[in-house]
Amino acid sequence: MKKLFVCLTLFLMMLVIAGCGGGDKKSASGGKTPKDTLVVGLPLDLASIDPAVAMDNKAWKVSYPCYERLVKYKTTADGKASTEVGPSLAKSWTVSDDGLTWTFKLETGHKFADGTPVDSKAVKFSVERVMAVKKGPADYFKPVTAIETPDAETVIFKLKEPFAPFLDTMAVNAAGVVNPKVMEHEKDGDKASNYLATHTMGSGAYELTEFNPGQNIKMVLNKNYAGKAPAIKTILFQVIKDPSAQRLQLENGDLDIAAGIPMDQLDQIKSNKAVQIFESPSLLTSIVYINNQKAPLDNVKLRQAINYAVDYKGIIDGAVKGRGEQLTTPVPKGMWGRDDSLKGYSLDPDKAKALLKEAGMENGVSLKLLYSDNQGFNEAQALMLQNSLGKVGIKLELEKVAWATFRERVDKGNFDLAMGTWSPDYADPQFFMTYWFDSSYFGLAGNRAFYKNDAVDTILREAEKITDQNKRVELYKKAQAMVLDDAPYIFLFQTNVLTPMRANVKGFIYNPMLDDMYNFEDMSKE
């Protein structure tokens, strides 16, 4: 089976070093935290970190370093991230000519945090557990019909049909191998999900030791980790919801990394030589879910009118300070399979008004926009959308809720419009096209627009099953044109990623497949 991956030239390090107050080098850049400890600011409370449940990068930030997977993303010779996967728990693998049987050979010597060896049965248990829990992550393994373990070092996956991105799915958070002993914590048939919501039982570089909702999360080095011993021994996540408080704590040296500072405040710390800002193009997209199943938004003319009413350039300039570009197709730049000939929607108030008239809404319409504070630019973005849509007669009422509430309501379809972000977990356009537009993915699994087009379903399901990349590109381009006409979402922009951290933090690598996650085991502090 031909390996499908992308080689992205998306990695630009910006070390912002300019004048700041006096003092020696250590006091200027070192901060107040110990050299073997990283303190990370979080802008919101986390829900479950169970690999079988969690479906957002905020939770994966904590869980990903605590588990190993069959494969992992490679690092290039010059120390940058690659979107190609390579060996991890698996030292090698083969696939049958028909694409239905994948055989992985495991590396020996890997142990869970309690010292139990990682073997094929643990891999089988972990994947079957995700499938049994039946939450969003189960979709990664939908082609799997059986898992065989002929010996301790061999695991065989049987698929019902070929699945082009299968190998890449083995690097996602849900593929983390969990110690089967976790079943000692099972209650009421929950497969230990309640326990793993706030605990970890993996073989990764770290293990979770404290989880205090609304306060902090602590991870320490897994003494049985099979890899190179990390320089960072302790990771402390501090829940700090106020962006200004995060910025001040970063500048004062109480935080090593800040994950919740909006771009306008980042500009305020550029001159601080104790802080560096890592900036890189990314595949992180900003979109608005339009509830296609809810009147009056089930009218395609209204959805098209909304798309023509958006001031895309104004939102990019205002919300993310120009650090992004309009998303003109559902597949962002940097991902193969994109149809560059498609130009998407653009601001055209007259066309928006004409479409409203065709929809029988020439006197205007009132809608609600649901959003949360999970991204620093959401507030500004919501206000700009309200302003631009209001100019054509679409009254937009803003409704800001907590992140957990937002997720619950959106998953259930309890909204008109809802702001969202999306980044791929593996390097395949299927992760955008299928998750956003296949009607079998209503709600939690991705299609939060509750969009359904039978013709699009047929195309996307065919594209998953074939391994010829050229044929897959043709299918994805056809589907892109169709969904743009249906206007099930507002495709706003893809943005640069900016990660502010203390200047003495070294070794950070940004991978667009692991957005908002950190390679803690490779990092250090001077």
User: Do 393 and 491 share a domain, yes or no?
Assistant: yes
**In a shared domain, residues 420 and 506:** no
For residues 73-80, give the mean pLDDT.
Answer: 87
Digit-coded pLDDT (tens) for 336-388: 999 999 999 999 999 999 999 999 999 999 999 999 977 778 889 999 999 99
Domain membership of residue 111 (yes or no) is: yes
Placement of tokens 């962006």 in the chain:
243
**Residue showing tokens 């699009």:** 456
In contact, 116 and 102? CB cutoff 8 Å: no
Kindly report the CA angle at 343 between 382 and 327, in degrees rounded to 5?
A: 35
Spatial distance between the Cα atoms of 276 and 188, rounded to a whole number of angstroms: 48
Query: Do residues 353 and 253 share a domain?
Result: no
Domain membership flag for residue 482: yes
Q: Are 159 and 304 in a shared domain?
A: no
Q: Look at residue 56 and tell me if it is in a domain.
A: no
Is residue 444 one of the residues assigned to a domain?
Answer: yes
CATH number, position 313: 3.10.105.10
β-strands 234-239, 37-42 pairing: parallel
Q: What is the pLDDT of residue 248?
A: 94
Indicate if 464 and 438 belong to the same structural domain: yes
Please tell me the predicted confidence (pLDDT) of residue 275. Answer: 95
CA distances from 217 to 18, 49, 242, 281, 372 (A): 33, 11, 18, 29, 22
Identify whether 58 is part of a domain: no
Residues 343 and 459 in one domain: yes
pLDDT tens track for 134-182: 998 999 999 999 999 999 999 999 999 999 999 999 999 999 999 999 9
Q: Is residue 180 part of a domain?
A: yes
pLDDT digits (tens, 9 = 90+) for 246-294: 999 999 999 999 988 877 788 888 889 999 999 988 999 999 999 999 9
CATH number of the domain encompassing residue 223: 3.40.190.10
Residues 119 and 170 in one domain: yes
Is residue 3 domain-resident?
A: no
Is 514 part of any domain? yes
Q: Are 334 and 10 in contact (CB under 8 A)?
A: yes
Give the separation between CA 149 and CA 135, rounded to whole angstroms. 25
On whether the CB atoms of residues 60 and 518 are closer than 8 A, the answer is: no
Residue with tokens 């043709």: 474
End-to-end, the C-alpha distance of the chain in Å comes to 44
**Whether 262 and 123 share a structural domain:** no
Cβ-based burial of 109 (10 A; exposed 0-12, middle 13-18, buried ≥19)? exposed
274 and 289 in a single domain? The answer is no
The confidence score (pLDDT) of residue 511 equals 93
417 and 334 assigned to the same domain? yes
Question: Over 90: is that where the pLDDT of 58 sits?
Answer: no
CATH assignment at residue 89: 3.90.76.10
Task: Starting at the earlier edge strand, list the strands of the sheet with 394-400.
Answer: 324-326, 489-495, 285-290, 417-422, 365-371, 394-400
Residue 83: give the domain boundaries.
Answer: 66-193
Tell me the C-alpha distance between 121 and 148, whole Å: 9
- Check whether residue 451 and residue 306 sit in a common domain: yes
What pLDDT band is residue 230 in, cutting at 50, 70 and 90? Answer: very high
Domain boundary among 193, 217, 246: 193
| Total domain count, the chain | 3
| pTM of this structure | 0.85
Tell me what pLDDT residue 504 has: 96
Shared domain for 434 and 312, answered yes or no, is: yes
Compute and round to an integer the Cα radius of gyration of the chain. 23
pLDDT tens, residue by residue, 433-456? 999 999 998 876 689 999 999 999
